[in-house]
Homo-oligomer: A and B are copies of this chain.
């Protein structure tokens, strides 16, 4: 829909631009902000006055450099608000509390094994209350809770409750009104997102992706997921399945002669299945930690798995390069750091022989910054993100009210 804009929307947008500029590049003086945003100093003064009044921004220091009045440096008020991120998958629950600047203040981690909805909800609720209590934060300052679940998700908004319609990873979870349930129990707004997309958003907000505007994020969870950030915004495609790598076929694309015995990437990158396989061979692997230790002992099953894994990723990477041509590809999620690095290295040696040599630009390959908490960080950013990130859509007139005039 083509919708126009007006003064209020333009102002909202500028508010967000200034807040985001301070977050990314601060502490900054008002004149510094003006320079970066191409707004006038007066406009910056007006808007920062409002932001300071709302408690989102505070003075940091005075810096004198050469003649002229010293700059008053402004920064984000870390204590202006908090957000909770919950990363739930078939094998674990990670729950974190982050402040307005995206710093993790509390973490809670539980290993799970295909939890039922009741178990999971109970555990999530108690974990959230626990970390809030431990940090001693006023619950009114919690802006919301982000919930990350493994994709693909199909969300229906039937009878006013957001339900998960197609939770592949969670048999038994069909049609659970998870968002409403959590909102009632927690008395906080809950936002649902697929964990790979969430990790991408998190990387964009808090990681190296801060300075990269368009990237692809390959997320290793219990399964495999992907998130796409284009122009600083999450791109989720027409049916919200963009980057759903789990079903990316491997069989069709296999190198002749190889046989991975799985028809799609998600079947291969299946952590519970891998761990089960390792246990069947006598290795005591029950957690990520165990996996990391095993890897450091140069376990052969594991290194075979990684060899095959890197090969199975080649078509995906090439597809990303040729179709999307992003600035970077991030690799992150719940894989021991050493394994992530090794996988990336193997992949790098596989690729050249498959690439057309004449191709020009190529995305950088980066290890994501957030590590095990990537998805939780990502969903934790959702309540903040939905209130404060500059979004083109805000300039148009069909967006929802977000409070604070932003």
Contact = CB atoms under 8 A, between A and B. Distances in A.
Interface string A381-406: 00000000010100111100000000
A354 interface: yes
A247 B356 contact: yes
B4 A18 contact: yes
A360 interface: yes
A382 to B, nearest CB: 20
**How many copies of the chain does the oligomer comprise?**
2
Interface string A231-272: 000011111111111011101111111000001100000000
B10 A6 contact: yes
Given A4-B39, A256-B257, A356 B264 contact: yes
Interface stretch (A278-286, A320-328, A333-341): A320-328
Contact of A7 (B10, B237, B362): B10
Interface of A is mostly: loop
A214 to B, nearest CB: 6
Contact of A256 (B244, B248, B256, B322): B256
A43 B270 CA distance: 56
A37 interface: yes
Contact of A10 (B9, B168, B326, B362): B9
Interface in A1-56: 1-7, 9-10, 13-14, 17-18, 20-21, 24, 36-39, 43
**Residue among A6, A355, A358, A397 having the largest count of chain B Cβ atoms under 10 Å:** A6
A137 to B, nearest CB: 29
A319 B314 contact: no
Given A4-B38, A43-B4, A395-B392, A322 B247 contact: yes
Given A4-B14, A253-B315, A315-B252, A360 B326 contact: no
